[in-house]
Structure 1
């Protein structure tokens, strides 16, 4: 018992010191990286440049003046990417004395060569009119949304969807209510009910009984 108490006292004494040392080490490795990103040819500020720490999900973007600021660790590799420019990367030195590090990053224009496109007219006006009428134009978002909200398509989608918890509970409660309502007597037959025949005729005209 005395040995255990002695061990606990030693642990309680040295544990805060060890944790404080680890905290100091982590705090010493944190660096505030800030700077500006510009073009290499005209020194023009580049907005909306992605500044990402490689191997992590941490990053930021430059503002309208090309300025950025991000917290990194010593030894991290930071990559700068922007559309139309070659990506560049820098590595934070491990032996910097300050917890702040500033850079001026220059990005070089990345030239992209596209294949040549040759435009040729139709041989005759009749062929142009035929091709123009028969050309299939892809549906836009509004047309796709209209097609998805058609009544026939909604019925097909609804017929294949399983019932959720609320629908299953309501259906079970309705069945229990019907059995309780006609408990001790014979339920009525709807074959002679004119209202039931009216609903049947409407459903038949709508095509509810067709195979889907």
Structure 2
């Protein structure tokens, strides 16, 4: 029972603290000038409008985003610090003058580009460099690489079609099937050899 009473007392005190903090903030806002802050956000070259730039006052719920034309508009209080943040650009902080008397303020905001350089990453199938060295040391290379290569006989070239050996029925059937198979595959095959044709140019 005592724990429950203590929790209720703690929550009540917390609510009163939040209430008094909100009242103090409202009093500060009432004492200062409230104005409509608007403008257009562009890139460093002043030609490209930036869309989706976050425009907000830190520590408050006041904020917005720029439209396709880079336009934004939001209520601010004199003396506020407005932040302009976007991916790929330097964050910009702008303070509204505390002694401003106008009800609106329009400015053109320019954001400078920021280049993010990422460190290089070496991807290896081994966990450490020591494992890589051990794998290289355990690799066994053949004594003569040419001995491992298959021996391909040279193609037979006949001088005349009459010198070719006669094909039987099975060979003739396999030959025809091979031609048809090649024609079917040619429909979907991407050519791996690019032929460049040169056209002679005549000068007159």
Q: TM-score range by the shorter chain?
A: 0.3 to 0.5
Larger Rg: 2
Identify, as 1 or 2, the structure richer in helix: 1
For normalisation by structure 1, the TM-score amounts to 0.42
